[in-house]
Amino acid sequence: MENAEIQRVFPSALQPGDMVGIVAPAGAFDHMKLHRGISVLEQMGFKVFTPKGLFEKEDYLAGSDEHRAHLLNHLFQEPSIKAVICARGGFGSIRIMSLLDYEIIRESQKIFLGFSDITALLSVFETRCGLISFHGPMITSLADADKESMDAMYRALTSNRKLTIKPAKGLTLKPGVSAGIVTGGNLATLCHLVGTPFEPDLAGHILVLEDIGEPHYKIDRMLIQMKLAGCFNKLAGLALGSFENCGTLEGVYRIVERIFKEFTFPVLAGFEIGHGKTNITFPVGLKATLDADNHMLIYHSPAIK
């Protein structure tokens, strides 16, 4: 089934007093940062559920693949949980993708939030479930999040208004205006989905990309791999978030301009999205317009009901 034909599943807005479940689908996490992040959620007015087994660890993972998948399936199945927020990224989401119950996830209509390695799950929830999910702060990153990040997250998960995201220092790399389904997140994670059964079809999509700790030549290599695989052939637009510790932004932008030279879709850089100080929450799987001329990403409808 083509992505454009998938029936979109809109989660319900979070209300004060709602229960938020924490899950760790990928890497092991810092316990102190987790508890500080939980305090932030509680100050927002939400109750927090930490499932038994959340603190398990197996090497660099938060428990075995089966364990992490079981906890994620369980939280989506539990009626009292209104939203599922990831503890941390790191690595490991791709290892559990074949173990998830996508029918349960689709029918649950729950909010799901994460970024970094969690990009793999945001992507597959769109392609397999049609679920509108959210790219934004996780529990451990909430511990040190700035006010702008926390306010944007709260607004995205509780308000049924249409969102518009406007970068403070937007930079037009390719002019133009286009519309498409917003998807994406971490470049390295998306690149590693290419050639797997979970590779997303990016046709007609506005692709958001960000990363951390990748030197210029690796960013070049990942984008070239995706380009040669045909991932960008029918893209509607490209939005660039933060590239923390990836060398100069100017260098990253030169790579992007070179690789996307022959494409005609708009490219807008400068979004405060990803691993930078500010991490603005945005819906994944929802149609929006990318206006590279006026530096805006304008969603066509609310992400939650």
CATH number of the domain where residue 280 is located:
3.50.30.60
Query: Residue 304: inside a domain, yes or no?
Result: no
Below-50 pLDDT ranges, the chain: 1-4
Q: What is the pTM of this model?
A: 0.96
Say whether both 154 and 243 belong to one domain: no
Q: Do 140 and 168 fall within a single domain? A: no
pLDDT at 1: 33
> What is the residue whose two structure tokens read 């989506």?
76
Q: Say yes or no: 129 and 21 in one domain.
A: yes
Q: How many domains is the chain built from?
A: 2
Q: Note whether 187 and 209 are within 8 A (CB).
A: yes
CATH number where 123 lies? 3.40.50.10740
Q: What is d(CA 19, CA 72) in angstroms, rounded to the nearest whole number?
A: 15
Catalytic residue numbers read 116, 210, 275
Final residue before a domain boundary, out of 125, 143, 158: 158
- Domain boundary residue, one of 131, 158, 185: 158
Unique residue bearing structure tokens 């990928």: 26
Residues 249 and 102 reside in one and the same domain: no
Q: Per the domain annotation, does 176 fall within a domain?
A: yes
Domain boundary among 125, 158, 191: 158
| Pair 194, 65 in one domain | no
pLDDT of residue 48: 98
Instruction: Assess if residue 305 is contained within a domain.
Output: no
Digit-coded pLDDT (tens) for 233-253: 999 999 999 999 999 999 999
| Statement to judge: residues 142 and 204 lie in one domain | no
Helix segments in the chain, DSSP class H: 31-43, 65-77, 93-96, 102-108, 119-124, 139-142, 147-158, 187-191, 216-228, 249-259
Identity of the amino acid at 165: I
pLDDT at 146: 96
Query: Could you tell me if 206 and 242 lie in one domain?
Result: yes
- Tell me which residue range forms the domain holding 186: 164-299
